[in-house]
Amino acid sequence: MQRLLIVVTLLATGLALEGRVCIAADPLTVTSDFEGASVREVEIDDATRSISFIPGGDPVRGWPCWWYFRVNGIAPGETITLRLRGSTATVTKPGAPPQKPLASVWSMPAQATFSTDGKTWRHTEKGQRQDEWMIYKLKPESASVFVAWGPPYTPSTAAKFVREMSEKSPHAKATELCRSRGDRAVPMLHVQQGERTKEQRFGVWVQARQHAWESGSSWVAQGFAEWLLSDDADAAWLRQHAEIFIVPIMDVDNTASGNGGKDAQPQDHNRDWSPQPHWNEIIAAQRMVGGLIEEGRMDVFLDLHNPAPDDPTFFYVLSPELLKEPMIGLRDRFIQLAYSRISKIKPLIPMSNKPKVTGANYHPLWRQISANWVSLNGNPHTVSLTLETIWNYQNSTTEGYRAVGSNLAAAVREYLAERPVRQSRMALLD
Ligand SMILES: [Zn+2]
C-alpha cells in the first residue's frame, strides 16, 4: 500500500512538472529481434523521449535503407521522436571496389509508418529534415509501437496471406515456389477456376520483392490477388480463362533478415536471370515461366517494385528497338489499359504518362533483369513489364498499394478479354 502511494505521489509530481518529462514514465527501449527488423546505432534520450538510429542491414546483402523496429515504454498520451540518419555503411556494386554510403534519401520517406498492433499500418506526420537527420514525431497512444520505413510485409505475412486466400476460395491454392538458400519457404498463390485445360488458359505471372526493401510491392501483389479472388464478375472471368501465379516475396531471406537485397552480393535478384542463376527463387521462377513460354502461353508477366524516392514512373519497359511486333503493340495496349485504370486513383497516386524506356544503357546486366529476360525469351505475344509503384507519397499506404494491385489485375482481365480465346489442341484439330 505504501509503495502504491509513493508511485501515485511520484506520478502526480511528474505530471505537475509542466513541459517536463513525467518522471514516472518508463524508460524507452527498442527491440529488433523479430522477422524483418532492421536498426543500428540506437541511442535513446529519455529526457527528450527521442530515439536516434540508422537503418541496419549488411551492405553485402543489399542497400541498407530499410528500417523496422519496436519501441516500448511509451506513456499514455506521449509524443516520441525518431531521429533517423542514413546508414554509414559503404555500399558496392557487385564486382566493383568499395564506394561510399548509400544516399540517405533512400531510407527517408517523407512520412514514416507505424502500427500499434503489427497489422494496421499508418503514416506519421511529415518528417522534418534537419541537416543529416530526418525527424519524425508520433503519438502512438499505446505502450508499444512498431515503426518502419514503409508498411512491412514479411515471409510470415505472405504465408498467412496465401493460406487465407486458399481457405477463402476454392479456386486458390497456397503453394511454394521453392525453398530459399536460407531454407525458407517462398509462398506462392496459384489461381484458376473451372474445367479449362492448361492449354486453354492464358498464363499470368506476378512477382514482387526481388528487392527486399521495396515492401510496397508486396502490398501491390496482395491487392492483385484480393481482386482476383473477389466476387467481381470480371475477376471470375480472369480465373476461368487464365492460370495465375502470384509470388508476394521473391527474396524471402533478405526480407526476413531485414536486409535491403538491392545490389546484394554475389548477385542482385533482378540481375540474376541468367543461364545459370545463383538464387533458388530465380532458378524456380525461370523454370516455371520457361514452361509457360514452351506452352506458348506466357501472356502477362509482371515484376513489381518500388522506384527511386521521387520517381513517379509506373512502368519500365525495354526499348522497342530491341523487340518485334506483335510484342510492342500488345505491350503498349496493356500499358494504356493499366494506366487508364490506375489513373482513376489519380491524384491519389501521381504518375507520369509514359513508361521509362530501358535497355543496354540502363544497366550492364540489362539482359538479366527479369522483365527483360522474359521479353527477350518469351513468346511473340508476351507482355512483360516492370511496375514501379511510387513509395514516397501520402497514399503510399497499404490501401494505396492494394488499390494499384486491384486495378492492375482488372487491367489484365480487360487486356486478355481482347485476345483470342485459347483453344485446346484437340479443338484446333477438329
Ligand atoms: Zn526494385
Q: Give the tens place of pLDDT for each residue, 230-276.
A: 999 999 999 999 999 999 999 999 999 999 999 999 999 999 999 99
Q: CB of 256 within 8 A of CB of 289?
A: no
Q: Which three cell numbers stand for residue 337?
A: 489499359
Grid coordinates representing 357? Answer: 524506356
- Cα 341 to ligand 1 centroid, rounded to whole Å: 23
3-state helix, strand, coil in the chain (%, to 5): 35, 25, 45
pLDDT the model gives residue 20: 47
The predicted pLDDT at position 357 comes to 84
- The type of residue at 18 is E
Q: Determine the Cα–Cα distance for residues 204 and 169; give it in Å rounded to an integer.
A: 18
**pLDDT at 14 (0 to 100):** 40
- HEC letters along 304-340: EECCCCCCCCCEEEECHHHCCCCHHHHHHHHHHHHHH
pLDDT per residue over 8-27, tens digit each? 334 443 444 444 444 568 99
Q: Report domain extents, the chain.
A: 18-148, 155-428
pLDDT value for 405? 96
Cα 368 to ligand 1 centre (Å): 14
What is the distance in A from the centroid of ligand 1 to the CA of 306? 6
- Between CA 310 and CA 322, with CA 316 as vertex, the angle to 5 degrees is 145
Residue ranges of the chain with per-residue pLDDT less than 70 = 1-24, 94-95, 98, 343-353, 423-430
Tell me what pLDDT residue 353 has. 60
Interval between CA 309 and ligand 1 midpoint (Å) = 12
Of the candidates 304, 319, 271, the residue with the CA atom closest to the CA atom of residue 388: 304
Instruction: Give the separation between CA 32 and CA 146, rounded to whole angstroms.
Output: 10
Cα(426) to ligand 1 centroid in Å equals 42
Distance from Cα 178 to the centre of ligand 1, integer Å: 21
Residue 26 CB contacts under 8 Å (≥ 6 apart), including other chains? 72, 73, 75, 143
| pTM of the shown model | 0.92
Report CA(358)–ligand 1 centroid distance (Å): 14
What is the 356 CA–ligand 1 centroid distance (Å)?
A: 14
- For the chain, report the end-to-end CA distance as a whole number of angstroms: 91
Half-sphere exposure of 279 (CA within 13 A, CB side): 30
Ligand 1 centroid to Cα of residue 248, in Å, is 14
CA dist., res. 119 & res. 40, Å (int): 24
Contact of 358 with 370, CB cutoff 8 Å: no
Cα 14 to averaged position of ligand 1 atoms, centre (Å): 48
In the prediction, which pLDDT does 390 show?
87
Architecture of domain 155-428: 3-Layer(aba) Sandwich (3.40)
C-alpha cell belonging to residue 49:
523521449
Inter-CA distances, 133 with 48, 51, 136, 341, Å:
16, 12, 10, 38
Q: Which of 177, 202, 212, 203 is nearest to 286 (CA)?
A: 177
Domain 18-148: which topology? Immunoglobulin-like (2.60.40)
* 40 strand-pairing partners: 54
Predicted local confidence at residue 204, as pLDDT? 98
In contact, 378 and 340? CB cutoff 8 Å: no
What angle do helix axes 398-417 and 215-228 make, rounded to 10 degrees?
A: 50
- Distance between Cα 92 and ligand 1 center (Å): 16
> Which residue in this structure is represented by grid cell 548509400?
102
pLDDT of residue 8: 38
**Tell me, what DSSP letter sits at residue 390?**
-
What does the pLDDT read at residue 395?
A: 86
